[in-house]
Amino acid sequence: MKLFLKKYLKLKLKIQYYDYLYYTLNSSIISDYKYDQLCMMLKKLEKENKFEKKLKYTNYNFKKNNFSYLPEIEHKTPMLSLLSGSSIKDFLKYDKMLKKRFFIFNDIEYFCDLKIDGLAISLIYHNGILSHAVTRGNGYSGENVTINIMTISNIPIVLSSPEIPKILDVRGEIYIKKKDFLLLNKISSLHKKKNFSNPRNIASGSLRQKDPEIARKRKLQFIAYSCNFFNSSLNLEKHDKNLFLLKKWGFSICKIFSICKTIHDVIQFYQMVTKIRLDLNYEIDGIVIKVNSKILQKKIGYVEKAPKWAYALKFFSHSVETKVIGIHFSIGRTGLITPIAFLKPVFISGVLIKKVTLYNKKKILELKLHIGDIVKIYRAGDVIPKIEKVLLKKRSITVQKIIFPYYCNICHTKIVYLEQEGLMYCPAGFFCQAQNEKRLLHFVSKNGLYMPGLGLKIIKKLLKKGCVKTPDDFYKLNIQSFEKISGIGIILTKKILNSINSSKIVMLNKFIYALGIFLVGKVVSKNLANFFGSVRNFLNSNYTILCQIEGIGHNIATSIILFLKSKENLKIIYFLKKKLCISSFFSNSFYMKDFSKIWIYQKKFVLSGKFLTMSKEKICTIIEKYGGIVKSYISKNINFLIIGLKYGQKFKQAKSLKITILSEKEFFNNLLKKNVI
Ligand SMILES: [Zn+2]
């Protein structure tokens, strides 16, 4: 039976692939006769075995118009970047930090393998069949590149083993071999086309192609480096066991790896790799060191954008000497102050470097940097320039000590120092002009309140005319406010006002994120929304409560409390709370455990029309999450009809049956209340 299933799926995918070529790309690589034969074979197989219905998920539907090109898909678990360093010293510091922070008294067992220079990808298998492939994207969602992924010969499309989890998420790297890279560039030179600058660009470029034949010709390779199981009884305690399982299931894994019992083993592995690096047939830019124990990984957890239990130790790129001629303290959107060193301009691998970031106060103290010092500069991962070290022997007597600011040089608010992290920030929020512009832009951004059409240019103009100072001012704008601004006509004005108007329905996590509180990013905002469930609960929180929330420690809690302490900030939040419809539908909200108290519970709903806040499917999910029931037809048993734009006949039917009709806004306004209206 299994062999049979495999044969069937392969055939089906083949036909769908030809369909895609034919219907979407208007090209055909087999004769009509052969195509018809394949179709007949498929039909015969289907007739013999009535499992067609079970296999719905393999329908890629390549037919014209149905095929949506590269839509975004959310990752099952975020695909995060790695903490990294470029010297053994950096790694030793990391190891020490882990041991100290998590009270680990013995050596940590690390799993080390190569950091291949490619494109990270997530392959999702449902019941052992490749369902989709997604790029890393922003870490939370990426592009759907399934079609092109299917052209990569060493990615199995069907897995056959009794232990395959119901849902399997395989993470790995798409890369190209050095010789294929050189060959491709030779061919592009022959065709007088631009050369590819590095193998990673080829991988990402190929996966974005509309024509999968291009990806096929580029001979991409896949190497798996981790996996997640869902709905599975498999529970392996070590990372290496997971990888070996992947190998057993047919995935390629890195052949060069080491299970290191001590940090000396890690150093040895790193030194060995630096020696063989040039002889490998693919590009690498370092090694990846992972805590091998899954239990320990869980205990160590994540920082905002990276797993804390993994570390990328990158190779050094060559460095040059230059002089530091000045220091500037730049204020970012959240008030974070970043010291930047201005340099006597130098070239590193063809790029002119004039300044480098010094990250924070701690870094400056570590480097023992003075203005006028001669420093060694290198480009980490060949991208961001960094100061490697200060050449103390070359220090002249005229160097000046760096003086750290006590007050914000723009708004004169006292700067907050987080001594342990060496971070400093201006806590004035919307009242610091240096932050204002970027904060307002952040507020209206896609992950915030989302007001398309309102860009930096317009915000700058509104600020200049004094129409907008803080985010609440957006909701006070009218046609007259735009009349005094040059370059904004009536059509654009209406578009912007419309955009502002439709931003009024917003999810709580996006609202919190939009406030731009220092250290409160997307993940923390989600956790906060999840925990508090409403703006009111969030405002009533205190330091102790905040520290109980996942991912929130002393610094984040302090930053939130400082933000909420400011009367000006509170005034803005209260105004917005009144003006906006802020909803939260997280099922495990701390305050909303008992759904039976919510009006939605056990009520029957019908939806009609087009919805602005979110898709119909998502609204249905919310209703079902709170114990409501969604039906597709109006009958006398229905309790509520929710209508969007362009609703249909159902409105009339509901009216005649005296069913309560709710607009989209009414529904969201009352979402978490005990009784509706
Ligand atoms: Zn300031």
Task: Answer whether 514's CB lies under 8 Å from 448's CB.
Answer: yes
Among the candidates 52, 67, 82, a domain finishes at 67
Same domain, 388 and 512: no
Is residue 62 included in any domain, yes or no?
Answer: yes
What is the per-residue DSSP string for 541-603? --HHHHHHSTT--HHHHHHHHHHHH-HHHHHHHHHHHHHSEEE---TT-TT---GGGSTTTT-
How high is the pLDDT of residue 64? 36
Q: How far apart are CA 330 and CA 409, in angstroms?
A: 10
Backbone dihedral region for residue 427 (phi beyond 0: left; psi -120 to 50: alpha; all else: beta) = alpha
CATH of the domain at 389: 2.40.50.140
Q: What is the DSSP letter of 407?
A: B
Are 293 and 385 contained in the same domain? no
Q: What's 662's domain CATH number?
A: 3.40.50.10190
Residues 115/314, Cβ–Cβ less than 8 Å: yes
Whether residue 344 is found in the same domain as residue 442: no
Q: pLDDT tens digits for 50-88?
A: 554 444 434 444 433 333 345 678 888 888 878 888 788
Instruction: Check: CB of residue 98 under 8 Å from CB of residue 108.
Output: yes
> What pLDDT is recorded for position 539?
92
Q: Which ipTM score applies to this complex?
A: 0.99
In this predicted model, what pLDDT tens digit does every residue of 328-348 receive, in sequence order? 999 988 889 999 999 988 776
Query: What is the longest distance spanned by two Cα atoms in the chain?
Result: 91
Decide if pLDDT at 26 tops 80: no
Q: What is the 430 CA–ligand 1 centroid distance (Å)?
A: 9
Tell me what the mean pLDDT of segment 143-147 comes to: 86
- Residue 200 pLDDT exceeds 50: yes
Residue in 12, 115, 308, 510 annotated catalytic: 115
Give me 123's structure tokens.
């392959």
Residues 545 and 605 occupy one common structural domain: no
CATH number at residue 480: 1.10.150.20
Span from the CA of 556 to the centroid of ligand 1 (angstroms): 19
Residue 29 has pLDDT above 70, yes or no: no
Q: Which stretch, 369-373, 451-455, 565-569, has highest mean pLDDT? A: 369-373
Q: At what angle do helices 433-444 and 456-464 cross, to 10 degrees?
A: 130
491 CB-near residues (< 8 Å, 6+ apart): none
**Could you tell me the distance, in angstroms and rounded to a whole number, from the CA of residue 408 to the centre of ligand 1?**
5
pLDDT category at 589 given cuts 50, 70, 90 is very low
DSSP 53: G
Determine the pLDDT at residue 594. Answer: 53
**Highest mean pLDDT: which range of 297-306, 369-378, 583-592:** 369-378
* Residue 422 falls inside a structural domain: no
Residues sharing a CB contact under 8 Å with residue 531, sequence separation 6 or more, in sequence order: 549, 589, 590
98 CA distance to ligand 1 middle (Å): 34
Write the CB contacts of 265 (distance below 8 Å, at least 6 apart in sequence): 110, 258
Structure confidence at residue 487 (pLDDT)? 83
Residue 360: inside a domain: yes
* 59 and 77 assigned to the same domain: no
- Same-domain check for residues 441 and 572: yes
Burial of 377 (0-12, 13-18, 19+ CB in 10 A): buried
Contact 342, 355 (CB under 8 A): yes
Cα 509 to averaged position of ligand 1 atoms, centre (Å): 26
- The per-residue b/e assignment along 28-65, b for 16 or more CB within 10 angstroms, e otherwise, is eeeeeeebeeeeeebeebeeeeeeeeeeeebebebeee
Contacts of 320 (CB under 8 A, 6+ apart): 346, 347, 348, 376, 377, 378
The reply to whether 547 falls in a domain is yes
SS3 618: helix
Residue 223: pLDDT above 90?
Answer: yes
Answer yes or no: is pLDDT of 294 > 50.
yes
Domain final residue pick, 33, 67, 101: 67
Rounded CA separation 155/153 (Å) = 6
Distance from the alpha carbon of residue 336 to the mean position of ligand 1, in angstroms: 10
With 80 as the cut, is the pLDDT of residue 194 above it? no
Percent of the chain with pLDDT over 90: 29
Map tokens 């630096």 to a residue. 274
In this predicted structure, what is the pLDDT of residue 27?
Answer: 59
pLDDT band at 351 (very low <50, low <70, confident <90, very high): low
- How far, in Å, from the CA of 410 to the mean position of ligand 1? 5
Q: What percent of the chain has pLDDT over 70?
A: 88
Tell whether the model's pLDDT for residue 302 goes beyond 60. Answer: yes
Domain membership of residue 399 (yes or no) is no
576 and 599 in a common domain: no
Strand partners, 222: 174
Q: Domain range for residue 626? A: 595-669
From 129, 166, 160, 167, select the one nearest 146 (Cα to Cα): 129
- What is the C-alpha end-to-end distance of the chain, expressed in Å? 57
Q: Do 441 and 487 sit in the same domain of this protein?
A: yes
Query: 457, 453, 466, 456: which is closest to 493 by C-alpha?
Result: 453
- Considering the domain architecture, whether residues 58 and 150 belong to the same structural domain is answered as no
Q: Are strands 660-663 and 640-643 parallel, antiparallel or unpaired?
A: parallel
Please tell me what DSSP assigns to residue 676. Answer: -
- Report the binding-site residues for Zn(2+): 408, 411, 432
Calculate the average pLDDT of the chain: 83
* Ligand 1 centroid distance, CA of 304 (Å): 24
Rg of the Cα atoms in the chain: 29
DSSP class of residue 102 equals: T
- Segment 105-117 shows an average pLDDT of 92
C-alpha–C-alpha distance, residues 587 and 657, integer Å: 32
The tally of domains found in the chain comes to 5
590, part of any domain: no
Distances (CA, A) of 629 to 648, 657, 671: 20, 19, 15
- Lowest-pLDDT choice from 61-75, 263-277, 290-304, 659-673: 61-75
In whole angstroms, give the CA distance from residue 541 to residue 228: 35
Query: β-strands 505-507, 423-425: how paired?
Result: unpaired
| CA 217 remoteness from chain centre | 30
Residue 195 belongs to a domain: yes
Q: Binding site residues for NAD(+), as ranges?
A: 32-36, 81-82, 113, 136, 173, 290, 314
Asked if 55 and 117 sit in the same domain, the reply is no
46: closest CA among 15, 108, 75, 4? Answer: 4
Q: Which residues are annotated as a binding site?
A: 32-36, 81-82, 113, 136, 173, 290, 314, 408, 411, 432
Alpha-carbon distance 401 to 399, whole Å? 7
Expressed in angstroms and rounded, the spacing between residue 473 Cα and the centre of ligand 1 is 20
pLDDT at 279: 79
Domain presence at residue 401: no
Residue with the bigger pLDDT between 179 and 108: it is: 108
The verdict on 10 and 86 lying in the same domain is no
Residue 233 has pLDDT above 90, yes or no: no
Which tokens hold the place of 468? 């907008």
Choose the final residue of a domain: 46, 67, 88. 67
Candidate from 40-49, 250-259, 327-336, 385-394 with smallest mean pLDDT: 40-49
Shared domain for 475 and 623, answered yes or no, is no
Active site residue 115: yes
